């Protein structure tokens, strides 16, 4: 039986749709080359750095000063800080003498909690190869291995505090 390799490079073209299209032509032995992407967005990185900066400063830090320390714009700063305020890890005080202040110890917040605050809940049913829900009818051969790896990663990130990830403590 001939093996057909299909490369999925466009996120708009899911591997499942591609498989169904190829199956309509009678091709059933299909292998996928899907670019794997395990990354976090820039906001998450900036949020970790903001928590670290607030920890080092100990007192309230003005928005413009924090934006400069993070090498970002004052206009983008609320997008980074609002989820941290909502999680009640950071206080936000408006006004000319306002700013941001850390309310918790970095020992009390896990890396997973920060990731989920910034990017939304981790979903184990999402395929790391496609970014879509794994269809039960078309599970890839690596599904079980990836599931175990993702569970281990989530467990590790959940048990690692921000201070441990940062490699220092403050305060």
Q: What is the pLDDT of residues 82-93, one digit of tens each?
A: 999 999 999 999
pLDDT at position 19: 55
Mean per-residue pLDDT over the chain, rounded: 78
Q: Tens digits of per-residue pLDDT, 50-83?
A: 999 999 988 899 999 999 999 999 999 999 999 9
Tokens of 71: 């090498």
Per-residue confidence band for 46, with pLDDT thresholds at 50, 70 and 90? very high
Tokens of 24: 């309509």
Q: Tens digits of per-residue pLDDT, 102-149?
A: 999 999 999 999 999 998 887 666 665 666 677 666 777 777 787 788
Per-residue confidence band for 22, with pLDDT thresholds at 50, 70 and 90? low
Tokens of 2: 């001939």
**How many whole angstroms separate alpha carbon 19 and alpha carbon 32?**
9
pLDDT at position 90: 97
**How many whole angstroms separate alpha carbon 114 and alpha carbon 93?**
21
pLDDT at position 125: 66
Higher-confidence position of 30 and 131? 131
Judged on CB neighbours under 10 Å (0-12, 13-18, 19+), 154 is middle
In the chain, list all ranges with CATH 1.10.10.10.
42-107
Q: Is the pLDDT of residue 4 over 50?
A: no
Q: How many other CB atoms are there within 10 angstroms of residue 51's CB atom?
A: 24
CATH topology of domain 42-107: Arc Repressor Mutant, subunit A (1.10.10)
**How many whole angstroms separate alpha carbon 60 and alpha carbon 122?**
31
Per-residue confidence band for 41, with pLDDT thresholds at 50, 70 and 90? confident
At a CB cut-off of 8 Å and minimum separation 6, what does 51 contact? 84, 89, 90, 102, 106, 109, 114, 162
pLDDT at position 119: 87
pLDDT at position 12: 39
| DSSP per residue, 70-107 | HTS-TTTHHHHHHHHHHTTSEEEE-STT-EEEE-S-GG
Judged on CB neighbours under 10 Å (0-12, 13-18, 19+), 157 is middle
């Amino acid at each position: 039986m001939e093996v057909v390799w299909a490369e999925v490079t466009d996120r708009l073209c899911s591997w499942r749709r591609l498989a169904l299209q190829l199956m309509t032509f009678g091709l059933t032995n299909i292998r996928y080359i899907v670019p794997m992407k395990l990354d976090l967005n820039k906001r998450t990185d900036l949020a970790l750095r903001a928590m670290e900066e607030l920890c080092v400063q100990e007192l309230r830090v003005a928005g413009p000063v924090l934006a400069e320390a993070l090498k970002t714009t004052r206009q983008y700063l609320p997008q980074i800080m609002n989820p941290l305020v909502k999680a009640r890890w950071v206080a936000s005080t408006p006004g000319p003498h306002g700013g941001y202040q850390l309310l918790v110890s970095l020992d009390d917040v896990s890396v997973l909690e920060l990731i989920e605050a910034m990017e939304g809940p981790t979903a184990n049913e999402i395929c790391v190869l496609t970014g879509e829900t794994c269809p039960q009818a078309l599970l890839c051969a690596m599904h079980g291995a990836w599931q175990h790896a993702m569970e281990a990663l989530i467990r590790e990130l959940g048990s690692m505090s921000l201070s441990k990830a940062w490699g220092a403590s403050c305060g």
